[in-house]
Structure 1
């Protein structure tokens, strides 16, 4: 049977983040001597020394070599921070992230056959002798073989009654610890927090993404006051929201939410014997993992998905196409054996997941990535991306369902242009929120023509 292209291991590839100022700040913040002493005391070893250091997008990693008879090497991982990040809210988010990651690794180790590193010790708190949250875990060597498909099917079978990050709490039945999902955010991004959009509060993906889309439109309407391009961004956001009913079937989440790894990427899949018979030895980095909606889980692994920024002739497109075809065959066969009664639901969902992948990228990525993903998403729906502004947007706004919205945005633009002319470009910037613009022009109301754009806008409902 054909094999998927072997992913690269983080152990053999150093991530380059030399430009990231957080690395030095984090290194200087941590008391590495105390951290090594804690571990030596815990494992009853007299001494140790620090070895290599690597870093990624979220963490700084150092290898601690114990001076014991086995020459044990441990992995110390601390979250990257900067001086600007030092706040109660930021520290709380990191603490929850560490706590949930450790709980997730323990759950996976005790409830599945998926190999994960052993956590020797951790602290979720920024304040203390070490000076930072941290996780000390085993360095992965060779362990039993588990395929990518088997890993996904194992996680697919672990269902929870609601979406959200996993925690381990004391006080379960009969004095036992209890695994639970809590309505907290472990991401450092504040969009969901600002609007109270915590996945745990929603019973299905359709409801969650509708709330998320509405919050996005709300933010858009109240920001970048007066900019001409705003109405096209509004049309784009409106179109994305309109596709939610066709993408997300609420009935898929009725039977619970599968445990979804936060970064199931090639650098987190450890392998050995790359040149002969590649074998997976462990899955590392369970940050941002959570019980999640079925449609979020049921997507291709990132390392066989085309990046939205790739050109049409990118050389990896053909490889990914072949790997996805192979993946479809492998998971279909495995699912038929594993779940003969319920049938191959997961394989069907994954093979049709491209639209959902693009939708999610367009919704949650940064602006540049979002715009690129949106172009692909629009083309995925209509078969092409031609004349979006002059065709689709104009049809909706000139005489269609968004006509009143266009009139409202045009009124904002007229008011903004007049305000810049009267008060100056320095006073009236390009990134004002609606409330900020209103306060600004209200203070200088006597300077504006009562028949002009500012006064007309102030008199209109908004």
Structure 2
């Protein structure tokens, strides 16, 4: 039994009921079932054996999309955390097994602590399977003290940070990203550490059939196939918008691989660099001086082709809605200033540390265009635009969330002057008769066959042959 002693709970840890309020009923039910099965007494006993001192496991927890995290207080020493991996809380095509996520996360943490100065938690123990005393996959690791950027209070959380501190934060983050990208490998995939030798090896990533890949081209073909699989079940939808997206996005992804010849450049055979896959404000833990104390959530980290690496951190995203009001327009101007500032910091100050593809960034205009459904400006670097567009195309779970991508994707793949109608003609030629959302009428205008096309962000009908 754990010895009784007093400890102060960190403010981010919440009660079960408070946390469940943030989920749907179905999500809450899955997590409740998982937590009811977890043996916290066994977790306390295991921790006590490892550290040879009394401990207390909090009944409250923090949660993310892929994890439930409990704080553990030691009688003598800094707090630690137990990261438990339940079945997927929010299933998407990226949903991977708890075993894979736990094994991959622990391996990357151990690799980074031995090969870089990137601040990540120390791993004390890990088990990727549920058949253990705790009855859940877990990582017992160091607690990173501080607050994440999300705690600073706004959607784009860097604004409350003083100017002089913010620029220092940009340099700090750029330096850490450069270190990650200098971790380079001969294959594309996840990471595994041999428990007997301590050696690291790139292995299959559960999100990508056929991995580990030895060529970038194989990786990009797999991405296109993943998108097709993601939308497969929506092709029979009676909702024309859903059906339109379920056909258009997989098709444009495959044309993207072919037209832009991904993987055929000099980097096709590597080297391949470490990519966190979620450089986001909620995964950066800051100290009181705004220095980055730690970077967390490496479960989806992979070795990827250099031209697939993110160009600036994802937390720089503009707002989701169009600038319908003067206040929104003012915010977009402010976002653009911030993009310019971080671009200067990364490109002018940190360029020598980054792989060459990083220097050709279009995220500023690309993200502003996507989030405001404006695609009026795309420069000649269509490859970068297409890659980042594709990231957004698979980011959301449901097809109707992808409004605003069509024109950007078409222009990125076929050139800035290509119209949607021209792209749909290419699609119809590729996919065959009737696949451009053909619908038999009994419509108001008589017995005609109609084609559903995407135009100006909405589905509109056209009489076949018109």
Q: How many residues align?
A: 370
* In the alignment, structure 1 residue 246 sits paired with structure 2 residue 250: no
How far apart are residue 283 of structure 1 and its match? 0.8
Residues 167 and 180 of structure 1 are in contact (CA less than 8 Å); yes or no, is this contact kept in structure 2?
yes
1:168–1:178 Cα contact (<8 Å) kept: yes
For residue 367 of structure 1, the aligned residue among 384, 395, 398 is: 398
Please tell me whether the aligned partners of residues 362 and 371 of structure 1 are also in contact (alpha carbons under 8 angstroms). yes
Displacement of 1:237 in angstroms is 3.5
What is the match of residue 33 of structure 1? 41
CA distance in structure 2 between the partners assigned to 1:359 and 1:47 by the alignment: 46
Partner of residue 138 from structure 2, selected from 134, 138, 141: 134
Cα displacement (A) at 1:241: 2.5
Q: Quickly say closer, same or farther: Cα 1:301–1:376, change in 2 above 3 A.
A: farther
Instruction: Measure, in 2, the Cα distance between the counterparts of 1:281 and 1:232.
Output: 41
Question: What's the counterpart of residue 287 of structure 2?
Answer: 272
Matched, 1:330 2:345: yes
1:369-399 CA-to-partner distances (Å, cap 9, x unmatched) read 663253363475466998x4xx3466447xx
SS in 1 for 2:279: coil
Aligned pair partner of 1:284 in 296, 302, 310: 296
**One of 411, 427, 432 as aligned partner of 1:405:** 432
Aligned equivalent of 1:177, options 198, 204, 214: 198
Deviation at 1:249, TM superposition (A): 5.1
> Distance in 2 between the 1:11 and 1:158 partners?
35
Alpha-carbon distance, 1:54 to partner = 1.5
Partner of 1:152: 177
**Are 1:168 and 1:179, in contact at CA under 8 Å, matched by a contact in 2?**
yes
User: Quick check: which one's helix share is greater?
Assistant: 1
| Cα contact 2:186–2:214 (8 A) shared by 1 | no
**Change in 2 beyond 3 A, CA 1:350/1:331:** farther
Q: How many Å separate the matches in 1 of 2:62 and 2:406?
A: 36
Judged with a 3 Å threshold, the aligned counterparts in structure 2 of structure 1 residues 41 and 215 are, in CA distance, closer, same or farther, namely closer
Contact 2:105–2:301 at 8 Å: present in 1 too?
A: yes
CA contact (8 A) 1:121 1:137 kept: yes
- In structure 2, the residue matched to 1:64 is 72
Secondary structure of the structure 2 residue equivalent to 1:132: coil
TM normalised by structure 2 equals 0.68
The alpha carbon displacement at 1:304 in A equals 0.3
Assess, with a 3 A threshold, how the Cα gap between structure 1 residues 135 and 268 changes in structure 2: closer, same or farther.
Answer: same
1:142-182 deviations in Å (ceiling 9; x for gaps): 7xx981100110011110111110111156xxxx4321011
Residue 201 of structure 1 aligns to a residue whose secondary structure is coil
Task: State the Cα deviation string for residues 188-216 of structure 1 (Å, max 9, x = none).
Answer: xxxx5xxxx34423501x44333443565
Q: Distance in 2 between matches of 1:63 and 1:108?
A: 23
Look up the match of 1:258.
Answer: 273
Q: CA RMSD in A?
A: 3.9
1:184 is displaced (CA, Å) by 3.8
Give the Cα separation in 2 of the matches to 1:293 and 1:58. Answer: 25
**Conserved? CA contact 2:65–2:90, under 8 Å:** no
Q: Is the 8 A contact 2:191 2:201 kept in 1?
A: yes
2:84 is aligned to 78
Deviation at 1:27, TM superposition (A): 1.9
Q: Could you tell me which residue of structure 1 aligns to residue 247 of structure 2?
A: 234
* Residues 383 and 163 of structure 1, relative CA distance in 2, 3 Å threshold: same
Counterpart position of 2:322 = 311
Unaligned runs of 5+ in 1: 1-9, 415-462
